[in-house]
Amino acid sequence: MRAPVSAQPLDAYQSLTPSCHTTSPSKTSKAASIMAMTVAQPAVLFLFLLLLPASSEAGAGGRKLIFILAGQSNMSGRGGATNGTWDGVVPPECAPSPRILRLNPELHWEEAREPLHAGIDVGNILGVGPGMPFAHAVLASSNRGAATVGLVPCAQGATPLANWTRGTELYDRMLTRARAALAQCDGRGELAAVLWFQGETDAMKREDAELYQGRMEALVRDVRRDLNSPDLIVIEVGIATAQYGGKFLNNVREAQKAVSRSIPNVMFVDAMGLPIASDYTHLTTQAQVQLGNMLAKSYLSKR
């Protein structure tokens, strides 16, 4: 596992604004003054045009799109990490970028890199997840106007939905991290969406599967209320596997679909059919890349 890189504050991506100062000549002829101004104006214009791409690249006012990544192991990522160790393979779609940040365990922004949930999904072997390809795809969209994508990893492996209800440790940690992310944006951050991939554990027991819809609907309402974001987009991934061969996979999937129909701005992205690793539970690295792009497409369709 790679060590975290040094922190890259969000403030580092502000726009550049050119300025120029002129003084009145005192001992030069009027003709010389006019000539100097004539020469200076193209130079100033050139400087402005030179700086303009940098300003545009930084986005309007240095806007930051912040995304919460929550759920269990397939959200935190096990791509390339299902055989006892991570293989270290990082596809180009998951490469680090100064425009993609993550909130680290100490609640500071740093340049994001795989494994994205390092220090968050504790006690597990981590690999590639959907967060980095998602962020790259969002930034690649030509009309989003974001200077930076800030990812807030919150997922924890092998956790049932009951462990994420309001007042639980995981729920409180998620809200604490989301609020810290916004607080470090100097008013330029936008809580854009929650990406949710969870349910494999709930597919093990009939009771959890039957309660899934109600619990998930409550979670969406609680998160929106507690983060003061009543229209917050929530994109839930339809699970493709059940932990330990659970028999209630289809029950959970139907519950997830029902949530997306019953609550506005909740969207369903289906992981069924994506490549599964040899452990029959987790998505492969390439599957996570595909999923990240699917999540981005879903998010962009609502913007």
Give 10-33 as a 3 state SS string: HHHHCCCCCCCCCCCCCCCCHHHH
Question: Is residue 116 within 8 Å of residue 76, measured between CB atoms?
Answer: yes
Instruction: In whole angstroms, give the CA distance from residue 115 to residue 284.
Output: 14
37 vs 302 pLDDT, higher one: 302
Residue keyed to tokens 């998620």? 174
pLDDT band with cut points at 50, 70 and 90 for residue 303: confident
Per-residue pLDDT, 216: 99
pLDDT band with cut points at 50, 70 and 90 for residue 144: low
Q: How many CB atoms lie within 10 A of CB 271?
A: 21
Q: What is the mean pLDDT of residues 251-274?
A: 98
Would you call 279 a catalytic residue per the annotation? yes
Per-residue pLDDT, 55: 32
From 73, 76, 260, 298, the catalytic residue: 73
From 11, 87, 172, 279, the catalytic residue: 279
Residue 300, amino acid: L
Strand 148-153 to 64-71 pairing? parallel
Q: Which residues contact 293 (CB under 8 A, 6 or more apart)?
A: 93, 133, 134, 137
pTM: 0.81
pLDDT tens digits, 159-196: 999 999 999 999 999 999 999 999 999 999 999 999 99
Using alpha carbons, list the distances in angstroms from residue 204 to 159, 182, 200, 208, 250. 12, 36, 7, 8, 11
From 202, 208, 260, 282, the catalytic residue: 282
Question: Is residue 90 within 8 Å of residue 77, measured between CB atoms?
Answer: no
Q: Per CATH, is 62-301 categorized as 3.40.50.1110?
A: yes
Would you call 29 a catalytic residue per the annotation? no
Would you call 73 a catalytic residue per the annotation? yes
Per-residue pLDDT, 53: 35
Per-residue pLDDT, 52: 35
